Structure 1
């Protein structure tokens, strides 16, 4: 057990909050103006963690915070003699969830990454339907051109939470039919959504996850979302996003190179989260 004085942990908490404020400044300013953003809002509309939750600093397991009565008001902590530590009872209560997350992370680590999807999941979400998700933004190739791209490619989406948003006509075109139950069997480290979801698992494991790891996963998810939408059928040039034209050989090469880079960034974060799960489960 490492003990941090009040001055030490307060400094860490303040530094963390400032880092979050910098990361979220644009999002929060737009939120005040009620101005939606198809790229950056995703991390706060699809994922449930709110900005004020991200600002709270968590040290992770094995750390004792002196003079930290404020942490007694936060779920997952107990305060004894004025010092706060993570609550072992909370770990015990969440053992099933931690075990499931650990199994998913480890199976994904063990699986060979695949890099041939070209982001076609976003195209399959608007295939043969007028009800697009981002109505304020036009389709770069129009509806007919978008449908042609879908029909002329092999679609191999392995991620259930992307596949479930496919339109009904697009679902049979996918070579896989992912389900929640098959997620640990199909998820692989080349998938943009699987790597973006490291942020989800990091936040689901809070307050056990060290905040530095949470923000590393957040930054990865933010960067992946940018590629995801640049490679999508939407025309976001007015927002400053140049398209990755996955319907062309050059665009495919650009997408795959970025996908490999993200897989390399995700791998150590996935290992750290799996190790955190092991550490928690060994104590429960």
Structure 2
């Protein structure tokens, strides 16, 4: 068993404050909108489709193999899976069993397979268009915002281009008429075989895989994955058929050659930005499955304070 890394009270408290402050840039406005009963067609997705609650996103955790020194660390004992040692408080390696181990095994398999492939950059975000194809106006998913080109022209765009969506959790929201137009037929069972690192949803889902391993993932890694998901979501919806100008979003018009080129450039940038995060999650899963008491790799300076979307 590896020797744990001990963090002095001042050090872990500084990391705790920094993480909470960083996440509140998203959680604060979301909670304010929710209190007013306001919906946001772009940002709500980060807290509704993904099930990690804002309070949990703000909450700092050290990850495995780290002892938190000082009297303040005893408050971590109020959370599941923490134990007290002579040096302080840490995650209990014995808590990494059963469901958590199975999750880590699946995440390792999925992310390793995804990382082994070259990015495909030719989908142009048509998955969002396929979700409203030939859909009655009162049934459109984001009914509070209009379609930028109207229903008929939106359908024409879908019919004029090949749809190449390999991500099951996008494909399952396609309208019935759109499903046969997809060149692939993704299923949950084929997820490991189909996911590829150019897919916007696969890169957003790094956030999901990080919090699914909670609390055995350092909060900074969860935060980096969330920041990536937030920026990818913006491109996802800017390239969608919706008119989001009232929310301050400039469209990426994928119905034009210029818009498709802009989308592919931004997509490539996100694939590059996601690669080290995927690698960190792969490394973490391997380490957890080998020795859940092993300290995580040293936390680098955050990779994702800024936006990766240049479209």
Partner of 1:270: 278
Contact 1:159 1:193 in 2 (8 A): yes
Contact 1:47 1:200 in 2 (8 A): yes
1:236 aligns with 2:244: yes
1:104 aligns with 2:107: no
Partner of 1:283: 291
Contact 2:133 2:177 in 1 (8 A): yes
Task: Please list, as runs of the form range in 1=range in 2, the aligned pairs for 1:1-284 lying within 5 A after superposition.
Answer: 1-66=4-69, 67=71, 68-81=73-86, 83-93=88-98, 94-130=100-136, 131-283=139-291
Residue 6 of structure 1, CA deviation: 2.5
Contact 2:74 2:89 in 1 (8 A): yes
Residue 205 of structure 1, CA deviation: 1.2
Instruction: Identify which range, 90-99 or 197-206, moves more after superposition.
Output: 90-99
Contact 1:64 1:83 in 2 (8 A): yes
d(CA) in 1 for partners of 2:88, 2:132 = 53
In structure 2, runs of 5+ residues without a counterpart are 293-311
d(CA) in 2 for partners of 1:22, 1:164 = 31
d(CA) in 1 for partners of 2:80, 2:198 = 34
d(CA) in 1 for partners of 2:68, 2:10 = 10
Contact 1:101 1:201 in 2 (8 A): yes
Contact 2:76 2:82 in 1 (8 A): yes
Residue 188 of structure 1, CA deviation: 0.1
Residue 20 of structure 1, CA deviation: 1.6
Contact 1:118 1:246 in 2 (8 A): yes
Question: Residue by residue, what CA displacement relative to the aligned partner does 1:5-42 show, whole Å, maximum 9, x if unpaired?
Answer: 22322222122212222233322221221111001111
Contact 1:49 1:203 in 2 (8 A): yes
Question: Residue by residue, what CA displacement relative to the aligned partner does 1:189-226 show, whole Å, maximum 9, x if unpaired?
Answer: 00000000001111111111111111111111000000
d(CA) in 2 for partners of 1:76, 1:158 = 37
Question: Which secondary structure state, in structure 2, belongs to the residue aligned with residue 60 of structure 1?
Answer: coil
d(CA) in 2 for partners of 1:160, 1:79 = 42
d(CA) in 2 for partners of 1:198, 1:3 = 28
Residue 185 of structure 1, CA deviation: 0.3
d(CA) in 1 for partners of 2:38, 2:128 = 22
Report the count of equivalent residues.
284
Question: Which secondary structure state, in structure 1, belongs to the residue aligned with residue 188 of structure 2?
Answer: coil
d(CA) in 1 for partners of 2:10, 2:268 = 41
TM-score (norm 2): 0.89
Contact 1:69 1:82 in 2 (8 A): no
Instruction: Identify which range, 222-231 or 66-75, moves more after superposition.
Output: 66-75
The two structures, once aligned, show a CA RMSD in angstroms of 1.2
d(CA) in 2 for partners of 1:163, 1:84 = 44
TM-score (norm 1): 0.97
Question: Which secondary structure state, in structure 2, belongs to the residue aligned with residue 197 of structure 1?
Answer: helix
Residue 82 of structure 1, CA deviation: 7.3
